[in-house]
Amino acid sequence: MNIIRIMLSGDLSISTKFEIIRLKFVSFLANFDNFFKKTPITFKSLKISDKDFGVFNYKGFKFYYNNDGIRTNSLKSGEWSYDEEITPVITDELSKADCPIFVDIGAHTGFMTLNVLAKIPSAQVFAFEPGQYQSTLFEKTIEANKLTDKVTLYKEALGKETGTTSFISQESPDADWSMNNGLLDTGRGLGRQKQTTVHVQTVDNWWKIAGKPEVNVVKMDTEGAELWILQGGTEFLSTCKPTIFLEINPLNLHVYPYGARDILVWLDKHNYYLKTLGGVLVMPDNLKRILKTNEFFVARPKAGLNNER
């Protein structure tokens, strides 16, 4: 989304528009600085030293995480919970299924997956996380808790077509600073950015290879790539009709060739409606107001809309 489109958008508040422009300026300066650095901006692998991470108790699981992150002290308390607003609605939705199957897209180090398994031990999870540092720690957590029969981790990205692409990561091996980890540079990360090449899968292709599991719930938190992922999963969505919890954040979307309204229109076209987690139906005429105070939303098949009213 270019600056002219941002300024003309009727879906963004003035404060959001100026924040996006600030992020674009920060990203420009970072790229300008990288151009003059002698060290390369790409890397193929990431080595994690034992001193970089610790093992914490999270929801009764052994949880691998970096020692110096902003969430580390909270993890040490043993009482902190990740995404307390989102977790209950996801687990409530999964609890309705006889054989709950959850797809965690943008799984990070496994917070949401562990939240789900703590509440619903019978759940089967398919998790996607292309971030090298995050997926390496998540893999250690899966192995330490003997969860390989419950959690399948894919260290790849999802998108609208299969292939390879660049993936933006933080230079510092700190799992906390992942808000800029994604297919495009949103400018929201701290410090210098690096790029790696990752494999991209479509949801449809994955679903067929996996044996067409009857997925009940999908969570997407991919720093702006949500519409591309949806576009790569039309057959999966029309067949399984899962409930989808997804992030829609203009501060991420500004670098993508679409905005929040495009996501809303696409969902409507594919027989889904969108609500806030608080239950407000999202429509074109209230989108601007809702985006001011909401980042996470739930999309459900239209067939169930009348039952909710």
pLDDT, tens digit (0-9, with 9 covering 90-100), for 73-105: 777 777 777 778 899 999 999 999 999 999 999
Mean pLDDT of 223-230: 96
Mean model confidence pLDDT for the chain: 85
pLDDT, tens digit (0-9, with 9 covering 90-100), for 259-301: 999 999 999 999 999 999 999 999 999 999 999 999 999 999 9
pLDDT, tens digit (0-9, with 9 covering 90-100), for 102-148: 999 999 999 999 999 999 999 999 999 998 888 999 999 999 999 99
Number of H helices, E strands in the chain: 13, 12
- Per-residue confidence at 66, pLDDT binned at 50, 70, 90? confident
Mean pLDDT of 51-57: 84
Mean pLDDT of 186-204: 81
Q: Letter for the amino acid at 22?
A: R
Mean pLDDT of 201-228: 97
Helix (H) or strand (E) holding 113: helix 111-119
pLDDT, tens digit (0-9, with 9 covering 90-100), for 167-179: 887 665 555 555 5
Q: Which domain holds residue 78?
A: 3-308
Number of domains in the chain: 1
What CA–CA distance (Å, rounded) separates 30 from 173? 18
Residue 275: what pLDDT? Answer: 98
pLDDT for 38 beyond 60: no
**Do you know the residue count of the chain?**
309
Mean pLDDT of 172-197: 69
Residue percentage of the chain with pLDDT more than 70: 76
How far out from the chain centre does Cα 209 lie? 22
What CA–CA distance (Å, rounded) separates 35 from 31? 6
Report the CATH number that the domain containing residue 117 is assigned in CATH. Answer: 3.40.50.150
Mean pLDDT of 27-46: 49
Mean pLDDT of 148-162: 97
Tokens of 9: 């958008």
Residue 211's region, left for phi above 0, alpha for psi from -120 to 50, else beta, is left
- Per-residue confidence at 40, pLDDT binned at 50, 70, 90? very low
Residue 43: what pLDDT? Answer: 40
pLDDT, tens digit (0-9, with 9 covering 90-100), for 259-270: 999 999 999 999
Supply the angle between the helices 111-119 and 87-94 in degrees, to the nearest 10: 50
What value does the CA radius of gyration of the chain take, rounded to a whole number of Å? 19
Regarding beta strands 243-247 and 124-128, do their DSSP bridges make them parallel or antiparallel, or are they unpaired?
A: unpaired
Residue 54: what pLDDT? Answer: 87
Cα dist from 26 to 29, 177, 186, 224, whole Å: 5, 16, 10, 18
What CA–CA distance (Å, rounded) separates 256 from 160? 13
Mean pLDDT of 229-238: 98
* Burial per residue of 207-227, b for 16 or more beta-carbon CB atoms within 10 angstroms, e otherwise: beeeeebebbbbbbbbbbbbb
Mean pLDDT of 227-249: 98
- DSSP type of residue 120: -
What CA–CA distance (Å, rounded) separates 144 from 93? 28
pLDDT for 234 beyond 50: yes
pTM for the full predicted model: 0.86
The CA dihedral of 219, 221, 227, 230, to the nearest 10 degrees, is -30
Look at residues 227, 195, 105, 193 and name the one whose alpha carbon lies nearest to residue 156: 105
Residue 78: what pLDDT? Answer: 72
Residue 194: what pLDDT? Answer: 74
Tokens of 250: 């203009």
